Amino acid sequence: MFESGLRLRIPPSPTGSLHLGTARTALYNWLLAKRFKGTFVFRLEDTDRERSKSEFVTDIIEGFKWLGIDWNEGPLRQSEHKARHQMVVNQLLENNLAYECFCSSEELEQIRISQRALNKVEGYDNRHRNLTKQEKDNFRAEGRKPVIRFKLLNKAEITWTDLVRGKMSVNASDLGGDPVIAKDNGDVLYNFAVVVDDHDSAINCVIRGEDHLHNTAKQIPIYEAMQWEIPQFAHVPLILTANREKLSKRKHGDIASISNYLKAGYLPEAINNYLIAMSWQFPSDDHKEVFSKEEAVLHFDLKDLSKSAAIYDPLKLNWFCKEHFQRLSAEEVLTRAKTGGFLEALNNLKEYSPDEQLKIISLMKDGLIKLNDLSNPASAANLLVFCQAPNLQDLKEEAENCLREPEAKIVLSELNNLLETLADLNPEIVQKLLADLAAKTGLKKGKKLFWPIRVVISGNIHGADLVALLSILNKNRLQERVKEALKYLEM
């Protein structure tokens, strides 16, 4: 199908930070480019001068890098192709395939209102298609500046075979009139610029969101007018929120922006996995769910994409996160946490040797969702227990109650006594320590025996394996916290 070589592109607009949906479209492009050894072009769609910002350019590039989505050409900037765009506009004008339209926005609005009243397609009624020179001069004399409109041939059936959806067809008369391709200030518009740029980059396969379906219908006639080869099109399904609306940067910025995931310490491999799996399934017999984008490359094909929109499910994302954390070595997690700055709030972690730090990470990483959780008190995977004594004045009710049990005091003072006889702790010693403690207190095991210890070290009745916890914490910290608690209970 692509004898000359597959050429794909991703054209984000730097009017906002990298969007989850853009990342997913980029991923599908990337997957296909890798699979069929194509060329992937990265272009910044920055023709909207007011809304485009350089900080967003940085954000988008950083986002792609973080996800591991690389490209072969670019970043190209649409704004740098102005002269070329102007040239094509003129060519269209000369060939009578485009024309000047002097309608004011008020007139346009009037046209829409009357069309709507008649249950017709809203849009422009092409009234300035055949203006005489005299009429144009009159408008100019009024001080009106024209926009340039492209002549859509009415009634023409615009068809293409979509690589995801199959045969598609839109009637040109349903497109809302001749589209504006250049504003009255000369700036060209998206639907035009994208055609010129894609053609100039020899793009032969356009993968984009389903929200572009009508744009494709508007763009194909431009290719035809210029006698340019029309690329293949593939419209991928959208990502919807839980209440079934298109995921938008404005309304759902927190979950829509890739940079938020980066900052929170999500694993890019988990994001990629989730994004790909949203509309695509690993084809092998086991239909495995957890995979890398590199594994997906081996099997990915547009025809296997789902046609229906997918609803963003944070719980499922979390699951992918856990799965990918479990697959990472403790060394890797520690490195990423350090380089990402996620350990900075955990000052005292430096007191532990590198080897101890690894033990800490491997003890905690299985329930990890994002690196942020390492220092988040609300997370079960936080490392706070290793870094600071709990604030006993401010315990949760269940923890406070546990400490107020009469047995708690006995357990703690016996523990304190036993600790006096010990030097450094290790798992074997802790094992024995707890057994001795059980014997001394007469409490076999269970809540009465272990929960007070947990509360004293972490402020929580739940947590990671106690033996591992205590042996890493070691004698001094443990004893300190036990004494502190005994003091607190005396008050």
Residues 181-210 that bind RNA (CB under 7 A): 183-185, 187, 189-191, 210
| C-beta closer to RNA: residue 151 or 246 | 246
Selected from 61, 230, 466, 489, the binder of RNA by CB under 7 A is 466
Rounded to 5°, angle at Cα 166 from 242 and 288: 55
Contact status: 463 vs RNA (CB under 7 A): yes
Compose the 207-226 pattern: x for residues touching RNA by CB under 7 A, - for all others.
---xxxxxx-----------
Q: Judged by CB under 7 A, which stretch of 24-32, 222-230, 317-325, 478-486 contacts RNA?
A: 317-325
Give the torsion through C-alpha atoms of 433, 437, 443, 448, to 10 deg: -80
Which residues 6+ apart lie within 8 Å of 163 measured at CB? 205, 207, 232, 233, 234, 302, 303
Ramachandran category for residue 456: left, alpha or beta (phi over 0 → left; psi -120 to 50 → alpha): alpha
253 counts as binding RNA under rule CB under 7 A:
no
Least CB distance to RNA at residue 148 (A): 9
In the three-class reduction of DSSP (H, G, I as helix; E, B as strand; rest coil), residue 315 is classed as: helix
Size of the site for RNA (CB under 7 A): 86
25 counts as binding RNA under rule CB under 7 A: no
Binding segment toward RNA, per CB under 7 A, in 82-90, 339-347, 369-377, 444-452 = 444-452
- Give whole-number Cα distances, 408 to 206, 210, 354, 448, 459, in Å: 67, 62, 34, 7, 14
Query: E strand or H helix at 141, and its extent?
Result: helix 133-141
Residue 31: both structure tokens together: 């997957």
**Angstrom distance (rounded) from CA 213 to CA 220:** 11
Question: Both tokens of residue 265?
Answer: 């310490």
Out of 2, 35, 48, 429, the only residue in the binding site for RNA (CB under 7 A) is 48
Residues 116-145 that bind RNA (CB under 7 A): 116, 119-124
Is 324 a binder of RNA (CB under 7 A)?
no
Q: Which is nearer to RNA, 300 or 450 (CB)?
A: 450
Specify the residue, 304 or 351, whose C-beta has the smaller distance to RNA: 304
Only one of the segments 1-9, 115-123, 262-270, 402-410 lies at the binding site for RNA (rule: CB under 7 A); that segment is: 115-123
CB of 405 closer than 8 Å to CB of 461: no
The residue among 97 and 338 lying less far from RNA, judged by its C-beta, is: 97
Phi-psi region of 487 (alpha: psi -120 to 50; beta: other; left: phi over 0): alpha
Q: Please list the residues that pair with 44 across neighbouring strands.
A: 77
Least distance CB 490 / RNA (angstroms): 25
Asked if 380 is part of the footprint of RNA (rule: CB under 7 A), the reply reads yes
Minimum distance of RNA from residue 241's CB (angstroms)? 9
Using an 8 Å Cβ cutoff, are 419 and 473 in contact? no
Position 51 contacts RNA (CB under 7 A): yes
Kindly state whether residue 159 participates in binding RNA, applying the rule CB under 7 A: no
Give the nearer residue to RNA in terms of CB position, either 241 or 263: 241
